Structure 1
């Protein structure tokens, strides 16, 4: 195995991209499903944080990280179903509700999570894929978490369902034209409620990855805005689950740039490199704001298209 610094940085970035991209992937898939039904959920940052806290607390109390994942998903179901119910009420704006739910979720996590900042909960096991490198740092970088594979499988299933199933057609029709969905006898509010709830579950599972795998602890600064960045990621992916995975890997690679350079002794500009995902988000939002292609791909019922 070559110890060329460039090769080390590239492999470390690949491993880091897989790790860092996993929560992005789950939140983006959840938001993609929600937006496909014609609703925007800006509250997934709160879902991510509450899912991380509840997953960590459950894993600490039970000794099982897998129960922690289910608890994180349950937190997402709670916030997603609450968001979906509130948005069914007359004259309620889904964006305003999302911002309120983000504050609510973060507040709950900070209030109930204080006792779990110091204790060590069991972490999710990883699949070692880097033993062949002969370099301990790279072997550590190439440990793949099972949730990453679950996220890819979820994206494939979601893309297939959108294209080939009755439920996929109902969700796409509801997102493109509520009037057409009602003409088909579909309850628009019920479809969006279910989509928002399932989307919340996925975001909660993404939060469980943060606290139980990488970085693998619970603290109040854990998320760093990843839930909000995932909304931009969905726009960048043109509401395609498969492209959401690829965009998440791109964001993950940007997030892994700083630690990868540090692994070969490059520390100059470390904080600037750590800001790469936020810079990328800003550039994507600027590029998408004037993109006619993005608006053509967007579900017709979304607020951004009206």
Structure 2
């Protein structure tokens, strides 16, 4: 961790300070537009449009927030690479340092006025996680994790669930953008019910994963995620003492494409309980 915190940017800040600055700049843009979500024509005011599928949405606020992050990163670390949700690859793709940014994870929640969204900023060095910063601009919660430095929410140390009994577990999921896999997920949940406490559909993969790192969820799973969705949250769960893998139980990285995170004991039980589900099989077939 010492190496990380002494590696200065052009302005003399360390990487964690820069990541927080980026996330806060985007969060402030989101806060200024929250009132627009209450308007009758909110979707028009927010510039809500469709990207790659009927339920893959984006607003003009996503673009504004992402631009603010990129401007900071290009100024502070011009030699680093950036992988951004809306504008793609920026900077040096050959750099060992790659920033993964999602300006609004949970865009559909945001556009609908549902107070469950976040900004996600993660930094990896090749295949090694360095840090993750996520800010929930509605609840004013800042989630930070540094490799070897633990996980914190608003500066307070937090830890993943140690629950070992599936019947006591709260599980989190999201539907994704593939209708068939979404149906397989619902079937898998139905097959497990009522062996667990309850289920939550989060609408923000980044927050769902992060919640599994601070025991708000005992487990979170998603069959289709992008690098910017998970890069920061992976670091948070690992530093909180949780177990995070892909849905096949393999080592996780930002480009894994699917994820399972939370209590190590519940992770094992869930893997065994869903091994023969069409949902898990669909993930294996897609790899």
TM-score normalized with structure 1 length = 0.26
TM-score normalized with structure 2 length = 0.27
Structure with a larger share of its residues in strand: 2
Structure number with larger C-alpha Rg = 1
Structure with a larger share of its residues in helix: 1
